[in-house]
Structure 1
Protein backbone atom coordinates (compact mmCIF):
# COMPACT_ATOMS: atom_id res chain seq x y z
CA UNK A 1 0.00 0.00 0.00
CA UNK A 2 1.35 3.43 -0.95
CA UNK A 3 2.34 5.58 2.00
CA UNK A 4 1.08 9.15 2.08
CA UNK A 5 0.81 12.02 4.54
CA UNK A 6 -2.65 13.47 5.26
CA UNK A 7 -2.79 17.15 6.24
CA UNK A 8 -6.25 18.29 7.31
CA UNK A 9 -5.82 22.04 7.83
CA UNK A 10 -3.57 25.02 7.15
CA UNK A 11 -2.78 25.15 10.89
CA UNK A 12 -1.58 21.53 10.76
CA UNK A 13 0.45 22.26 7.63
CA UNK A 14 2.23 25.13 9.39
CA UNK A 15 2.85 23.02 12.50
CA UNK A 16 4.30 20.08 10.55
CA UNK A 17 6.34 22.18 8.13
CA UNK A 18 7.91 24.57 10.59
CA UNK A 19 6.77 27.58 8.55
CA UNK A 20 6.05 30.83 10.42
CA UNK A 21 2.58 31.05 12.00
CA UNK A 22 -0.13 32.03 9.52
CA UNK A 23 -1.26 35.63 9.38
CA UNK A 24 -4.70 34.68 8.08
CA UNK A 25 -6.97 31.93 9.34
CA UNK A 26 -7.39 29.27 6.64
CA UNK A 27 -4.80 30.76 4.23
CA UNK A 28 -1.03 30.59 3.73
CA UNK A 29 1.46 31.59 1.03
CA UNK A 30 5.09 30.45 0.68
CA UNK A 31 7.89 30.68 -1.85
CA UNK A 32 8.74 27.48 -3.73
CA UNK A 33 12.35 28.06 -2.66
CA UNK A 34 11.24 27.46 0.95
CA UNK A 35 10.28 23.86 0.12
CA UNK A 36 13.94 22.91 0.58
CA UNK A 37 13.52 23.47 4.34
CA UNK A 38 10.62 21.05 4.72
CA UNK A 39 11.05 17.94 6.90
CA UNK A 40 11.64 14.66 5.10
CA UNK A 41 8.08 13.38 5.58
CA UNK A 42 6.86 16.00 3.10
CA UNK A 43 8.72 14.32 0.24
CA UNK A 44 6.17 11.56 -0.18
CA UNK A 45 2.64 11.65 -1.60
CA UNK A 46 0.62 14.30 0.26
CA UNK A 47 -3.13 14.59 0.68
CA UNK A 48 -4.23 18.10 1.64
CA UNK A 49 -7.77 18.70 2.84
CA UNK A 50 -7.69 22.16 1.25
CA UNK A 51 -7.01 23.90 -2.06
CA UNK A 52 -3.57 24.68 -3.46
CA UNK A 53 -2.32 26.81 -6.34
CA UNK A 54 1.30 27.15 -7.32
CA UNK A 55 3.51 28.94 -9.83
CA UNK A 56 6.63 26.84 -10.40
CA UNK A 57 9.60 27.98 -12.45
CA UNK A 58 13.07 26.76 -13.44
CA UNK A 59 12.28 23.06 -13.19
CA UNK A 60 14.21 20.65 -15.36
CA UNK A 61 11.61 17.88 -15.53
CA UNK A 62 9.27 17.06 -18.39
CA UNK A 63 5.54 16.55 -18.53
CA UNK A 64 3.43 14.53 -20.96
CA UNK A 65 0.34 15.84 -22.74
CA UNK A 66 -1.19 12.92 -24.58
CA UNK A 67 1.69 11.52 -26.63
CA UNK A 68 3.81 14.66 -26.66
CA UNK A 69 6.34 15.89 -24.10
CA UNK A 70 6.89 19.47 -22.97
CA UNK A 71 9.47 20.91 -20.60
CA UNK A 72 9.04 22.90 -17.42
CA UNK A 73 11.64 25.57 -18.21
CA UNK A 74 9.04 28.33 -18.35
CA UNK A 75 6.46 29.06 -15.68
CA UNK A 76 3.91 26.38 -14.92
CA UNK A 77 0.75 26.98 -12.90
CA UNK A 78 -0.91 24.05 -11.16
CA UNK A 79 -3.90 23.55 -8.87
CA UNK A 80 -5.27 20.85 -6.58
CA UNK A 81 -8.63 20.49 -4.85
CA UNK A 82 -9.13 19.03 -1.36
CA UNK A 83 -8.17 15.36 -0.97
CA UNK A 84 -6.15 15.15 -4.16
CA UNK A 85 -2.67 13.65 -4.03
CA UNK A 86 0.23 16.09 -4.43
CA UNK A 87 3.92 15.19 -4.53
CA UNK A 88 6.90 17.51 -4.11
CA UNK A 89 9.77 16.01 -6.07
CA UNK A 90 13.50 16.54 -5.68
CA UNK A 91 13.68 18.82 -8.71
CA UNK A 92 11.10 21.18 -7.26
CA UNK A 93 12.84 21.05 -3.87
CA UNK A 94 16.35 21.74 -5.15
CA UNK A 95 15.89 23.86 -8.28
CA UNK A 96 12.42 25.36 -8.33
CA UNK A 97 11.33 28.91 -7.68
CA UNK A 98 7.95 30.59 -7.57
CA UNK A 99 5.00 30.67 -5.18
CA UNK A 100 2.44 28.38 -3.59
CA UNK A 101 -0.79 29.28 -1.81
CA UNK A 102 -2.96 27.08 0.37
CA UNK A 103 -6.52 27.91 1.38
CA UNK A 104 -9.45 26.21 3.03
CA UNK A 105 -13.05 26.58 1.90
CA UNK A 106 -13.67 28.53 5.12
CA UNK A 107 -11.46 31.32 3.78
CA UNK A 108 -14.00 31.87 0.98
CA UNK A 109 -17.05 32.05 3.24
CA UNK A 110 -19.31 34.97 2.35
CA UNK A 111 -17.42 35.71 -0.88
CA UNK A 112 -18.70 34.87 -4.37
CA UNK A 113 -15.89 32.32 -4.66
CA UNK A 114 -17.55 30.18 -2.02
CA UNK A 115 -20.24 29.29 -4.55
CA UNK A 116 -18.14 29.68 -7.71
CA UNK A 117 -15.00 27.72 -6.84
CA UNK A 118 -16.36 24.56 -8.46
CA UNK A 119 -16.66 26.32 -11.82
CA UNK A 120 -12.85 26.35 -12.02
CA UNK A 121 -12.45 22.80 -13.29
CA UNK A 122 -8.66 23.05 -13.36
CA UNK A 123 -8.56 22.32 -9.61
CA UNK A 124 -9.38 18.74 -10.63
CA UNK A 125 -6.94 18.42 -13.53
CA UNK A 126 -4.09 15.94 -13.34
CA UNK A 127 -0.53 17.16 -12.80
CA UNK A 128 0.29 16.62 -16.48
CA UNK A 129 -2.43 19.11 -17.39
CA UNK A 130 -0.79 22.10 -15.72
CA UNK A 131 -1.01 25.53 -17.30
CA UNK A 132 2.09 26.49 -19.29
CA UNK A 133 2.54 30.25 -19.28
CA UNK A 134 4.03 32.58 -21.87
CA UNK A 135 6.55 35.14 -20.64
CA UNK A 136 3.89 37.84 -20.57
CA UNK A 137 1.40 35.62 -18.77
CA UNK A 138 4.01 34.54 -16.25
CA UNK A 139 4.77 38.16 -15.33
CA UNK A 140 1.07 38.88 -14.75
CA UNK A 141 0.57 35.76 -12.62
CA UNK A 142 3.75 36.32 -10.64
CA UNK A 143 2.71 39.91 -9.97
CA UNK A 144 -0.55 38.66 -8.44
CA UNK A 145 1.34 36.21 -6.21
CA UNK A 146 3.73 38.98 -5.16
CA UNK A 147 0.85 41.28 -4.30
CA UNK A 148 -0.74 38.49 -2.27
CA UNK A 149 2.56 37.93 -0.44
CA UNK A 150 2.90 41.64 0.31
CA UNK A 151 -0.66 41.79 1.64
CA UNK A 152 -0.04 38.63 3.65
CA UNK A 153 2.89 40.29 5.42
CA UNK A 154 0.98 43.50 6.19
CA UNK A 155 -0.68 44.09 9.51
CA UNK A 156 -4.21 42.73 9.31
CA UNK A 157 -7.05 45.24 9.27
CA UNK A 158 -10.75 45.05 8.36
CA UNK A 159 -9.93 45.26 4.64
CA UNK A 160 -7.22 42.59 4.59
CA UNK A 161 -9.31 39.49 3.87
CA UNK A 162 -11.37 41.30 1.23
CA UNK A 163 -8.20 42.44 -0.56
CA UNK A 164 -6.67 38.94 -0.41
CA UNK A 165 -9.85 37.37 -1.77
CA UNK A 166 -9.85 39.91 -4.61
CA UNK A 167 -6.33 38.83 -5.57
CA UNK A 168 -7.35 35.16 -5.38
CA UNK A 169 -10.40 35.84 -7.54
CA UNK A 170 -8.18 37.66 -10.06
CA UNK A 171 -5.68 34.77 -10.11
CA UNK A 172 -8.42 32.25 -10.91
CA UNK A 173 -9.97 34.41 -13.62
CA UNK A 174 -6.62 34.93 -15.35
CA UNK A 175 -5.92 31.20 -15.07
CA UNK A 176 -9.26 30.44 -16.70
CA UNK A 177 -8.38 32.81 -19.56
CA UNK A 178 -4.92 31.32 -20.04
CA UNK A 179 -6.19 27.75 -19.97
CA UNK A 180 -8.60 28.69 -22.75
CA UNK A 181 -5.63 30.03 -24.70
CA UNK A 182 -3.65 26.86 -24.05
CA UNK A 183 -6.45 24.67 -25.38
CA UNK A 184 -6.34 26.64 -28.62
CA UNK A 185 -2.61 27.29 -29.11
CA UNK A 186 -1.11 23.91 -28.24
CA UNK A 187 -2.06 22.75 -31.71
CA UNK A 188 -0.13 19.49 -31.83
CA UNK A 189 -1.48 18.34 -28.49
CA UNK A 190 -4.97 19.67 -29.11
CA UNK A 191 -5.48 18.21 -32.57
CA UNK A 192 -4.14 14.85 -31.38
CA UNK A 193 -6.43 14.75 -28.34
CA UNK A 194 -9.49 15.78 -30.35
CA UNK A 195 -8.72 13.22 -33.04
CA UNK A 196 -8.22 10.44 -30.51
CA UNK A 197 -11.43 11.34 -28.68
CA UNK A 198 -13.43 11.22 -31.90
CA UNK A 199 -11.84 7.86 -32.75
CA UNK A 200 -12.65 6.44 -29.30
CA UNK A 201 -16.23 7.71 -29.43
CA UNK A 202 -16.82 6.31 -32.91
CA UNK A 203 -15.21 3.00 -31.99
CA UNK A 204 -17.47 2.65 -28.94
CA UNK A 205 -20.53 2.48 -31.16
CA UNK A 206 -19.02 0.83 -34.25
CA UNK A 207 -17.83 -2.10 -32.18
CA UNK A 208 -21.05 -2.28 -30.19
CA UNK A 209 -19.33 -1.71 -26.84
CA UNK A 210 -22.53 -0.14 -25.54
CA UNK A 211 -24.10 -3.60 -25.60
CA UNK A 212 -21.46 -4.90 -23.20
CA UNK A 213 -20.48 -1.82 -21.19
CA UNK A 214 -23.69 0.21 -21.26
CA UNK A 215 -23.90 3.94 -21.87
CA UNK A 216 -20.48 5.54 -22.40
CA UNK A 217 -19.31 7.89 -19.66
CA UNK A 218 -17.01 10.88 -19.50
CA UNK A 219 -14.78 8.92 -17.11
CA UNK A 220 -14.45 6.08 -19.64
CA UNK A 221 -13.10 8.33 -22.39
CA UNK A 222 -10.91 10.36 -20.01
CA UNK A 223 -9.24 7.16 -18.82
CA UNK A 224 -8.81 5.89 -22.38
CA UNK A 225 -7.18 9.19 -23.37
CA UNK A 226 -5.05 9.47 -20.19
CA UNK A 227 -6.49 12.83 -19.12
CA UNK A 228 -8.76 13.87 -16.28
CA UNK A 229 -12.54 14.13 -16.90
CA UNK A 230 -12.56 17.87 -16.13
CA UNK A 231 -9.69 18.60 -18.48
CA UNK A 232 -11.29 16.62 -21.31
CA UNK A 233 -14.63 18.43 -20.96
CA UNK A 234 -13.01 21.86 -20.73
CA UNK A 235 -10.76 21.08 -23.70
CA UNK A 236 -13.68 19.91 -25.86
CA UNK A 237 -15.87 22.83 -24.83
CA UNK A 238 -13.10 25.26 -25.75
CA UNK A 239 -12.37 23.62 -29.12
CA UNK A 240 -15.80 22.43 -30.24
CA UNK A 241 -18.30 24.38 -28.13
CA UNK A 242 -19.61 21.14 -26.60
CA UNK A 243 -18.68 19.26 -23.43
CA UNK A 244 -17.75 15.58 -23.39
CA UNK A 245 -21.25 14.70 -22.20
CA UNK A 246 -22.81 16.61 -25.09
CA UNK A 247 -20.61 14.76 -27.58
CA UNK A 248 -21.64 11.47 -25.99
CA UNK A 249 -25.32 12.40 -26.21
CA UNK A 250 -24.99 13.27 -29.90
CA UNK A 251 -23.29 9.93 -30.60
CA UNK A 252 -26.01 8.06 -28.69
CA UNK A 253 -28.69 9.83 -30.69
CA UNK A 254 -27.03 8.99 -34.00
CA UNK A 255 -26.86 5.34 -33.01
CA UNK A 256 -30.46 5.47 -31.81
CA UNK A 257 -31.60 6.89 -35.16
CA UNK A 258 -29.86 4.05 -36.98
CA UNK A 259 -31.55 1.45 -34.79
CA UNK A 260 -34.96 3.12 -35.07
CA UNK A 261 -34.83 3.18 -38.86
CA UNK A 262 -33.12 -0.13 -39.49
CA UNK A 263 -35.03 -2.45 -37.19
CA UNK A 264 -38.52 -3.24 -35.99
CA UNK A 265 -37.50 -3.35 -32.35
CA UNK A 266 -39.62 -1.37 -29.91
CA UNK A 267 -38.42 1.90 -28.46
CA UNK A 268 -37.94 0.18 -25.11
CA UNK A 269 -35.85 -2.59 -26.66
CA UNK A 270 -33.64 -0.04 -28.38
CA UNK A 271 -33.27 1.92 -25.16
CA UNK A 272 -32.12 -1.19 -23.28
CA UNK A 273 -29.77 -2.14 -26.10
CA UNK A 274 -28.12 1.28 -25.97
CA UNK A 275 -27.55 0.84 -22.24
CA UNK A 276 -30.35 2.90 -20.76
CA UNK A 277 -31.68 1.50 -17.52
CA UNK A 278 -35.00 3.25 -17.99
CA UNK A 279 -36.56 3.63 -21.49
CA UNK A 280 -38.33 6.83 -20.46
CA UNK A 281 -34.96 8.50 -19.89
CA UNK A 282 -33.96 7.56 -23.44
CA UNK A 283 -37.23 8.97 -24.82
CA UNK A 284 -36.82 12.17 -22.82
CA UNK A 285 -33.23 12.68 -24.03
CA UNK A 286 -34.21 11.94 -27.62
CA UNK A 287 -37.06 14.45 -27.59
CA UNK A 288 -34.95 17.05 -25.79
CA UNK A 289 -32.27 16.90 -28.48
CA UNK A 290 -34.38 16.32 -31.62
CA UNK A 291 -37.76 17.82 -30.79
CA UNK A 292 -39.44 14.46 -31.55
CA UNK A 293 -40.17 11.34 -29.56
CA UNK A 294 -38.43 8.19 -30.87
CA UNK A 295 -41.78 6.88 -32.17
CA UNK A 296 -42.57 10.16 -33.93
CA UNK A 297 -39.10 10.21 -35.50
CA UNK A 298 -39.58 6.65 -36.80
CA UNK A 299 -42.99 7.46 -38.27
CA UNK A 300 -41.81 10.69 -39.89
CA UNK A 301 -38.90 8.98 -41.60
Structure 2
Protein backbone atom coordinates (compact mmCIF):
# COMPACT_ATOMS: atom_id res chain seq x y z
CA UNK A 1 0.00 0.00 0.00
CA UNK A 2 1.46 3.35 -0.93
CA UNK A 3 1.78 6.12 1.63
CA UNK A 4 -1.34 7.94 0.43
CA UNK A 5 -3.52 4.81 0.57
CA UNK A 6 -2.14 3.78 3.96
CA UNK A 7 -2.74 7.25 5.37
CA UNK A 8 -6.24 7.28 3.90
CA UNK A 9 -7.10 3.92 5.43
CA UNK A 10 -5.76 5.13 8.78
CA UNK A 11 -7.94 8.22 8.60
CA UNK A 12 -11.04 6.47 7.29
CA UNK A 13 -10.82 3.07 9.02
CA UNK A 14 -13.92 1.67 7.26
CA UNK A 15 -12.29 1.73 3.81
CA UNK A 16 -11.85 -1.80 2.45
CA UNK A 17 -8.23 -2.86 1.95
CA UNK A 18 -7.62 -4.68 -1.32
CA UNK A 19 -5.43 -7.73 -1.75
CA UNK A 20 -3.22 -5.71 -4.10
CA UNK A 21 -2.69 -3.14 -1.32
CA UNK A 22 -1.94 -5.97 1.12
CA UNK A 23 0.83 -7.29 -1.14
CA UNK A 24 2.18 -3.80 -1.74
CA UNK A 25 2.22 -3.00 1.98
CA UNK A 26 3.69 -6.35 3.09
CA UNK A 27 6.02 -7.17 0.22
CA UNK A 28 6.51 -3.98 -1.79
CA UNK A 29 4.60 -5.31 -4.77
CA UNK A 30 3.04 -8.35 -6.35
CA UNK A 31 4.67 -10.82 -8.72
CA UNK A 32 3.38 -10.69 -12.28
CA UNK A 33 2.64 -14.41 -12.35
CA UNK A 34 0.66 -14.17 -9.13
CA UNK A 35 -1.20 -11.11 -10.36
CA UNK A 36 -2.49 -13.10 -13.35
CA UNK A 37 -3.54 -16.09 -11.25
CA UNK A 38 -7.24 -16.41 -10.50
CA UNK A 39 -7.92 -15.12 -7.03
CA UNK A 40 -4.27 -14.16 -6.43
CA UNK A 41 -3.79 -17.03 -3.98
CA UNK A 42 -0.61 -17.20 -1.90
CA UNK A 43 0.56 -18.95 1.24
CA UNK A 44 3.23 -17.96 3.78
CA UNK A 45 4.89 -19.23 6.94
CA UNK A 46 4.21 -16.98 9.93
CA UNK A 47 7.74 -17.36 11.30
CA UNK A 48 9.15 -16.01 8.01
CA UNK A 49 7.01 -12.89 8.36
CA UNK A 50 7.18 -12.34 12.15
CA UNK A 51 10.64 -10.73 12.10
CA UNK A 52 9.45 -7.88 9.92
CA UNK A 53 5.68 -8.10 10.29
CA UNK A 54 3.77 -5.19 11.78
CA UNK A 55 0.53 -5.33 13.74
CA UNK A 56 -2.66 -4.94 11.73
CA UNK A 57 -3.65 -1.85 13.65
CA UNK A 58 -6.07 -0.57 11.02
CA UNK A 59 -9.45 -2.13 11.75
CA UNK A 60 -10.91 -2.53 8.26
CA UNK A 61 -12.64 -4.99 6.05
CA UNK A 62 -10.47 -6.60 3.40
CA UNK A 63 -11.67 -7.65 -0.05
CA UNK A 64 -10.01 -11.04 0.39
CA UNK A 65 -10.18 -14.13 2.59
CA UNK A 66 -7.48 -15.10 5.04
CA UNK A 67 -6.97 -18.48 6.71
CA UNK A 68 -4.40 -18.86 9.51
CA UNK A 69 -2.93 -21.82 11.37
CA UNK A 70 -1.47 -20.33 14.52
CA UNK A 71 0.66 -21.50 17.45
CA UNK A 72 1.16 -18.63 19.84
CA UNK A 73 -0.67 -16.04 21.88
CA UNK A 74 -2.28 -12.91 20.50
CA UNK A 75 -5.42 -10.80 20.46
CA UNK A 76 -7.51 -10.54 17.31
CA UNK A 77 -10.06 -7.75 17.09
CA UNK A 78 -12.93 -9.16 15.02
CA UNK A 79 -15.94 -6.93 14.39
CA UNK A 80 -16.70 -5.41 17.78
CA UNK A 81 -15.14 -8.32 19.70
CA UNK A 82 -11.60 -8.88 20.97
CA UNK A 83 -10.71 -12.58 20.85
CA UNK A 84 -7.68 -13.86 22.77
CA UNK A 85 -5.95 -16.67 20.90
CA UNK A 86 -3.57 -19.03 22.69
CA UNK A 87 -2.08 -22.33 21.58
CA UNK A 88 -2.95 -24.26 18.41
CA UNK A 89 -5.67 -22.41 16.54
CA UNK A 90 -7.25 -22.30 13.09
CA UNK A 91 -8.70 -18.89 12.14
CA UNK A 92 -10.83 -17.69 9.24
CA UNK A 93 -11.38 -14.09 8.16
CA UNK A 94 -13.67 -12.91 5.37
CA UNK A 95 -14.58 -9.62 3.68
CA UNK A 96 -17.84 -9.00 5.54
CA UNK A 97 -16.26 -8.35 8.96
CA UNK A 98 -13.49 -5.83 9.79
CA UNK A 99 -10.55 -7.16 11.78
CA UNK A 100 -7.11 -6.32 13.10
CA UNK A 101 -4.53 -8.05 15.27
CA UNK A 102 -1.72 -7.16 17.62
CA UNK A 103 1.97 -7.66 16.90
CA UNK A 104 3.08 -11.22 16.15
CA UNK A 105 5.51 -12.24 18.89
CA UNK A 106 8.81 -13.98 18.26
CA UNK A 107 8.42 -17.73 18.54
CA UNK A 108 4.98 -17.73 16.94
CA UNK A 109 4.74 -20.38 14.22
CA UNK A 110 2.23 -21.52 11.64
CA UNK A 111 0.95 -20.58 8.20
CA UNK A 112 -1.50 -18.22 6.57
CA UNK A 113 -2.95 -17.99 3.09
CA UNK A 114 -4.83 -15.20 1.32
CA UNK A 115 -7.04 -15.25 -1.75
CA UNK A 116 -9.91 -13.45 -3.42
CA UNK A 117 -13.41 -14.78 -3.87
CA UNK A 118 -12.56 -15.38 -7.54
CA UNK A 119 -10.34 -18.26 -6.45
CA UNK A 120 -13.55 -20.23 -5.87
CA UNK A 121 -15.53 -19.05 -8.87
CA UNK A 122 -14.19 -21.73 -11.20
CA UNK A 123 -14.35 -25.52 -10.94
CA UNK A 124 -16.20 -25.52 -7.60
CA UNK A 125 -19.92 -25.93 -7.04
CA UNK A 126 -20.16 -23.72 -3.92
CA UNK A 127 -19.54 -20.05 -3.42
CA UNK A 128 -17.62 -19.32 -0.24
CA UNK A 129 -20.47 -17.10 0.91
CA UNK A 130 -22.77 -20.13 0.87
CA UNK A 131 -20.68 -21.99 3.44
CA UNK A 132 -22.05 -21.72 6.99
CA UNK A 133 -18.43 -21.35 8.09
CA UNK A 134 -18.64 -17.72 6.91
CA UNK A 135 -22.18 -17.02 8.13
CA UNK A 136 -22.72 -13.81 10.16
CA UNK A 137 -22.19 -14.34 13.87
CA UNK A 138 -20.12 -17.53 13.54
CA UNK A 139 -16.86 -17.13 15.53
CA UNK A 140 -13.80 -17.46 13.26
CA UNK A 141 -11.63 -19.27 15.83
CA UNK A 142 -11.23 -23.04 16.10
CA UNK A 143 -9.10 -24.54 18.88
CA UNK A 144 -7.17 -27.61 17.77
CA UNK A 145 -5.82 -30.60 19.66
CA UNK A 146 -2.47 -32.11 18.69
CA UNK A 147 -3.90 -34.48 16.10
CA UNK A 148 -6.06 -31.80 14.49
CA UNK A 149 -3.13 -29.42 14.36
CA UNK A 150 -0.90 -32.00 12.66
CA UNK A 151 -3.60 -32.59 10.05
CA UNK A 152 -4.02 -28.86 9.34
CA UNK A 153 -0.24 -28.33 9.33
CA UNK A 154 0.18 -31.10 6.76
CA UNK A 155 -2.40 -29.44 4.49
CA UNK A 156 -0.70 -26.05 4.75
CA UNK A 157 2.71 -27.60 4.07
CA UNK A 158 1.39 -29.16 0.88
CA UNK A 159 0.01 -25.82 -0.25
CA UNK A 160 3.27 -24.10 0.66
CA UNK A 161 5.30 -26.60 -1.39
CA UNK A 162 2.89 -26.63 -4.33
CA UNK A 163 2.75 -22.84 -4.79
CA UNK A 164 6.34 -22.77 -6.13
CA UNK A 165 5.94 -25.60 -8.62
CA UNK A 166 5.33 -25.21 -12.36
CA UNK A 167 2.58 -27.84 -12.37
CA UNK A 168 -0.10 -26.66 -14.80
CA UNK A 169 -2.94 -27.66 -12.44
CA UNK A 170 -1.34 -26.47 -9.22
CA UNK A 171 -4.11 -24.02 -8.34
CA UNK A 172 -6.76 -26.72 -8.78
CA UNK A 173 -4.69 -28.91 -6.44
CA UNK A 174 -4.24 -26.08 -3.93
CA UNK A 175 -7.98 -25.42 -4.03
CA UNK A 176 -8.58 -29.03 -3.06
CA UNK A 177 -6.21 -28.62 -0.10
CA UNK A 178 -8.00 -25.45 0.96
CA UNK A 179 -11.32 -27.29 0.75
CA UNK A 180 -9.98 -29.77 3.30
CA UNK A 181 -9.31 -26.92 5.75
CA UNK A 182 -12.77 -25.43 5.24
CA UNK A 183 -14.61 -28.67 5.81
CA UNK A 184 -12.30 -29.69 8.64
CA UNK A 185 -13.33 -26.52 10.49
CA UNK A 186 -17.02 -27.13 9.85
CA UNK A 187 -16.71 -30.64 11.26
CA UNK A 188 -15.02 -29.24 14.37
CA UNK A 189 -18.04 -27.09 15.23
CA UNK A 190 -21.08 -28.71 13.60
CA UNK A 191 -23.67 -26.84 15.68
CA UNK A 192 -22.56 -23.59 14.01
CA UNK A 193 -22.08 -25.02 10.55
CA UNK A 194 -25.11 -27.20 9.92
CA UNK A 195 -26.53 -26.72 6.43
CA UNK A 196 -30.30 -26.42 6.80
CA UNK A 197 -32.65 -27.69 4.10
CA UNK A 198 -32.99 -24.89 1.58
CA UNK A 199 -36.77 -24.39 1.74
CA UNK A 200 -38.38 -21.06 0.81
CA UNK A 201 -38.30 -19.73 4.37
CA UNK A 202 -34.64 -20.58 4.85
CA UNK A 203 -33.73 -18.97 1.54
CA UNK A 204 -35.60 -15.75 2.38
CA UNK A 205 -33.95 -15.66 5.81
CA UNK A 206 -30.51 -16.16 4.26
CA UNK A 207 -31.18 -13.35 1.78
CA UNK A 208 -32.33 -11.08 4.62
CA UNK A 209 -29.17 -11.79 6.66
CA UNK A 210 -26.95 -11.27 3.61
CA UNK A 211 -28.71 -8.00 2.71
CA UNK A 212 -28.40 -6.82 6.31
CA UNK A 213 -24.64 -7.53 6.34
CA UNK A 214 -23.83 -6.06 2.94
CA UNK A 215 -25.12 -2.61 3.73
CA UNK A 216 -22.59 -2.18 6.54
CA UNK A 217 -19.67 -1.52 4.19
CA UNK A 218 -19.65 2.08 5.42
CA UNK A 219 -16.58 3.98 4.21
CA UNK A 220 -17.32 7.63 4.96
CA UNK A 221 -19.30 9.42 7.66
CA UNK A 222 -21.42 11.09 4.96
CA UNK A 223 -22.88 7.72 3.90
CA UNK A 224 -26.05 6.37 5.51
CA UNK A 225 -27.77 3.05 6.02
CA UNK A 226 -30.76 2.74 3.72
CA UNK A 227 -32.45 -0.31 5.26
CA UNK A 228 -33.27 0.05 8.95
CA UNK A 229 -36.72 -1.49 9.51
CA UNK A 230 -38.38 -4.85 8.77
CA UNK A 231 -40.63 -3.01 6.31
CA UNK A 232 -37.56 -1.75 4.41
CA UNK A 233 -36.19 -5.28 4.04
CA UNK A 234 -39.57 -6.82 3.18
CA UNK A 235 -39.92 -4.32 0.34
CA UNK A 236 -36.50 -5.18 -1.07
CA UNK A 237 -37.16 -8.90 -0.75
CA UNK A 238 -40.62 -8.53 -2.34
CA UNK A 239 -42.41 -10.34 0.50
CA UNK A 240 -45.06 -9.25 2.98
CA UNK A 241 -43.64 -7.89 6.22
CA UNK A 242 -45.68 -10.35 8.31
CA UNK A 243 -44.26 -13.27 6.32
CA UNK A 244 -40.70 -11.99 6.71
CA UNK A 245 -41.15 -11.54 10.46
CA UNK A 246 -42.66 -15.01 10.83
CA UNK A 247 -40.06 -16.98 8.86
CA UNK A 248 -37.05 -15.08 10.32
CA UNK A 249 -38.33 -15.80 13.84
CA UNK A 250 -38.99 -19.45 12.97
CA UNK A 251 -35.61 -19.96 11.29
CA UNK A 252 -33.33 -18.07 13.69
CA UNK A 253 -35.25 -17.75 16.95
CA UNK A 254 -34.86 -13.96 16.79
CA UNK A 255 -37.20 -11.35 15.35
CA UNK A 256 -36.35 -9.31 12.27
CA UNK A 257 -36.08 -6.20 14.43
CA UNK A 258 -33.75 -7.94 16.88
CA UNK A 259 -31.40 -8.84 14.02
CA UNK A 260 -31.44 -5.29 12.67
CA UNK A 261 -30.99 -3.57 16.05
CA UNK A 262 -28.22 -5.97 17.10
CA UNK A 263 -26.31 -5.41 13.87
CA UNK A 264 -26.66 -1.62 14.02
CA UNK A 265 -25.45 -1.67 17.63
CA UNK A 266 -22.49 -3.86 16.68
CA UNK A 267 -21.51 -1.47 13.88
CA UNK A 268 -21.87 1.47 16.26
CA UNK A 269 -19.38 -0.17 18.64
CA UNK A 270 -16.96 -0.77 15.76
CA UNK A 271 -17.14 2.87 14.65
CA UNK A 272 -16.83 4.18 18.21
CA UNK A 273 -13.80 1.99 18.85
CA UNK A 274 -11.94 2.20 15.58
CA UNK A 275 -12.68 5.62 14.06
CA UNK A 276 -12.27 9.23 15.11
CA UNK A 277 -15.74 10.18 13.89
CA UNK A 278 -17.73 12.16 16.43
CA UNK A 279 -20.96 10.78 17.94
CA UNK A 280 -23.19 12.77 15.60
CA UNK A 281 -21.34 11.51 12.51
CA UNK A 282 -21.65 7.90 13.66
CA UNK A 283 -25.34 8.33 14.42
CA UNK A 284 -25.95 9.93 11.04
CA UNK A 285 -24.09 7.15 9.18
CA UNK A 286 -26.25 4.57 10.97
CA UNK A 287 -29.45 6.31 9.92
CA UNK A 288 -30.37 8.36 12.99
CA UNK A 289 -31.68 11.86 12.32
CA UNK A 290 -30.21 13.34 15.47
CA UNK A 291 -27.73 12.44 18.20
CA UNK A 292 -30.42 12.20 20.90
CA UNK A 293 -32.16 9.33 19.11
CA UNK A 294 -28.83 7.57 18.52
CA UNK A 295 -27.86 7.97 22.19
CA UNK A 296 -31.21 6.52 23.30
CA UNK A 297 -30.90 3.56 20.91
CA UNK A 298 -27.30 2.79 21.86
CA UNK A 299 -27.99 2.95 25.59
CA UNK A 300 -30.91 0.53 25.18
CA UNK A 301 -28.67 -1.90 23.30
CA UNK A 302 -25.34 -1.51 25.15
CA UNK A 303 -26.40 -0.35 28.61
CA UNK A 304 -24.48 2.94 28.38
CA UNK A 305 -24.40 5.97 26.12
CA UNK A 306 -21.93 6.20 23.20
CA UNK A 307 -19.65 8.67 24.97
CA UNK A 308 -19.29 6.42 28.00
CA UNK A 309 -18.64 3.39 25.78
CA UNK A 310 -15.88 5.20 23.89
CA UNK A 311 -14.35 6.42 27.16
CA UNK A 312 -14.30 2.89 28.62
CA UNK A 313 -12.53 1.33 25.62
Q: TM-score under structure 1 normalisation?
A: 0.52
- The Cα of 1:163 is off from its aligned counterpart by 0.8
- Residues 132-159 of structure 1, C-alpha deviations (whole Å, 9 max, x = no match): 11111111111111110010122x2322
Taking structure 1 as reference, are residues 220 and 46 closer, same or farther at Cα in structure 2, changes over 3 Å only? closer
CA distance, structure 2, for counterparts of residue 93 and residue 222 of structure 1: 38
Partner of residue 59, structure 2: 45
Q: Which among 73, 79, 84 is matched to residue 59 of structure 1? A: 73
1:166 aligns with 2:180: no
User: What's the TM-score, normalizing by structure 2?
Assistant: 0.50
Cα pair 2:71 2:86 within 8 Å, conserved: yes
Q: Aligned match of 1:81 in 80, 94, 97? A: 94
CA-to-partner distance for each residue in 1:182-231, whole Å, 9 max, x for gaps? 99xxxxxxxxxxxxxxxxxxxxxxxxxxxxxx94139639949x99xxxx
Matched, 1:32 2:38: no
Residues 34-82 of structure 1 deviation map (CA, whole Å, 9 limit, x = unaligned): 1442357x43223210111111111155999xxxx99633211111222
Indicate yes or no: 2:158 matched with 1:143.
no
Matches within 5 A, 1:168-207: 168-180=178-190
**CA distance 1:54–1:17, change in 2 (3 Å):** same
How many residue pairs get matched?
Answer: 191
Change (3 A) 1:160 1:182: same
Residue 118 (str. 1) matches residue 133 (str. 2): no
Which consecutive residues of structure 2, in runs of 5 or more, have no partner in the other structure?
1-10, 194-241, 246-254, 267-313
Cα distance in 2 between the residues matched to 1:147 and 1:57: 18
Whether 1:103 aligns to 2:115 is yes
Which residues of structure 1 form unaligned runs of 5+?
184-213, 228-301
Pair 141,29 (structure 1): closer, same or farther in 2 beyond 3 Å: same
Which has the larger share of helix?
A: 1
CA distance in 2, matches of 1:161, 1:130: 26
Q: What CA distance in whole angstroms lies between the structure 1 residues aligned with 2:54 and 2:30?
A: 16
Distance 1:182 1:165 in 2: 23
Pick the structure with greater CA Rg.
1
State the match for 1:293 in structure 2: none
User: Cα gap change, 1:130/1:101 in structure 2, threshold over 3 Å: closer, same or farther?
Assistant: same
* Deviation (angstroms), 1:99: 1.2
